[in-house]
Amino acid sequence: MIARGASPLVFAPLVGTAACMALAILFGARELLYPGLPLGLLFLFLLAFFRDPDRRLGRGIVSPADGRVIEADGERNRVTVFMGVHNVHVNRAPWDGRITKMTYSPGGHAPAYAPEAARNERLETVLDTPLGPIRITQVAGVFARRIVPYRREGDRVKKGQRIGMIRFGSRVELALPEGVRLAVRVGDKVRAGETTVAEVAHGLAR
């Protein structure tokens, strides 16, 4: 499955490859095939990059992103996940709730793992849940020039439901309410919708 909103970008190189092949056959010019090779490789890269596989829902509060944990602050109940180029870049809701506020802030494009990324382009989504407000902040990185939201203010979402995508390397910050206990540490690898990042007071049954 291809991530929502990525199809035009993914299939553009494929159209270019097909055009090169058609022209090469039509005019009998083998050299017209040469531009099609890098376009074909680009298509395969984008197809892999913008994949959007189904996930088996995890217990507790789940990670909103695939990648590696670069911050796990139990005192402030904050978790930050860095998404590398090889990770799935579709983000998911960590818990059931209603989106009460979405705030887009323009900014720079420092490496997403660096402290300077605090001033990067971002989209903060506030999720009103029975546990309290949960803030999900999608942060653009060096190559991530666009944050693509799938939801709007007022929408209700279920845990694990897709909420948006960040193109190319980036990070997602998660600010959790009081009364939860972090279940991840810095360096852990996580998967959106599957990996438990925090346990709730009534356990992990949900």
d(CA 107, CA 103): 13
Cβ neighbours, 10 Å, residue 51: 15
Catalytic residue check, 105: no
Measured between alpha carbons, how far is 55 from 196 in angstroms, rounded to an integer? 13
Could you tell me which residues are beta bridge partners of residue 124?
103, 137
| Strand intervals (E) in 1-65 | 61-62
Only one residue has tokens 């802030």, namely 105
Separation of first and last alpha carbons in the chain: 27
Q: 89 by DSSP, 3-state: which?
A: coil
- Active-site position among 7, 63, 105, 170: 170
Distance CA 80, CA 63 (A): 9
Residue of 106, 117, 108, 110 whose CA lies nearest to 142: 110
State the catalytic residues: 170
